[in-house]
Structure 1
């Protein structure tokens, strides 16, 4: 009769100990590194999205009351020349006729083609429910694709990503002129990629 060979109890215990050590090593060192390897990809993607957003936003005029797009030949705040005051920050956002209609009333979704000044874009872009969770104080303005000129691209391409646009006057670079307090607007973008990080960008639009 042939003897059957196999693991002894001691050999089995040693094998389990070695396997445990290997699993601890993998979970502590290799698995986290695999997740971290995706971060540069999302950093580059966030920068590309921010660049595309700025290309669209900065192509608009400084203010609703300033710029050739509204047939104004003088800047807002130049009241001595008949210009209107620059828009108050509390009133930043789309103006009448610049959002889509939802039934009988205007919705918060921006009609990008109708937007004519930089503060019209203020709000959260991305999935509507995700915007409500991450930026509950900001109105929803539409999907990210609206500003990326990618109408044929599936929204799955930006799954779990949002872009928050915040606009405000910044007097840090103003020339000393009390008659013109609204010389620059800072447009801040925050691209949230979920667990892969949140990335902030800033740009300026000046009143010229």
Structure 2
């Protein structure tokens, strides 16, 4: 991955900042990137499920191959947003909400930053 920055001359602009592309999948020449070429954490924003229903993406594109998987009843919702956004420190808060069948959702939070 290439480091992004709003101040370093040898880096690329970070997505989601004023004047740059929004957070989410990158678009190049009008074509949205696919899972095989995801290159930053906010490309995964959205819902992911085994049966790709309700507008969700195919979870098996991320973790395994269909019928051979043990994740048939899982749904993963991923969100990313800037928690800290200054010239000195840029940190994305990534939230994963995992729902498994009839069980209560479990939420995990991680942080991704440039240091």
Which bracket does the TM-score occupy, shorter chain normalised? 0.7 to 0.9
Partner of 1:196: helix, strand, or coil?
Answer: coil
Match of 2:41 among 113, 118, 122: 118
Match of 1:163 among 57, 76, 82: 76
Q: Take 1:163 and 1:84, find their aligned partners in 2: how far apart are those partners? A: 29
Cα-Cα RMSD: 3.0
- Report matched runs for 1:192-203 at 5 Å: 192-203=99-110
- Structure 2: gaps spanning 5 or more residues: none
Q: Tell me which structure has the larger Cα radius of gyration.
A: 1
- Structure 1: gaps spanning 5 or more residues: 1-60, 68-74, 98-104, 133-138
Give the TM-score, by structure 1 length: 0.44
Q: Take 2:45 and 2:111, find their aligned partners in 1: how far apart are those partners? A: 14
Q: Would you tell me which structure has more helix in proportion to its own residues?
A: 1
Match of 1:179 among 87, 97, 107: 87
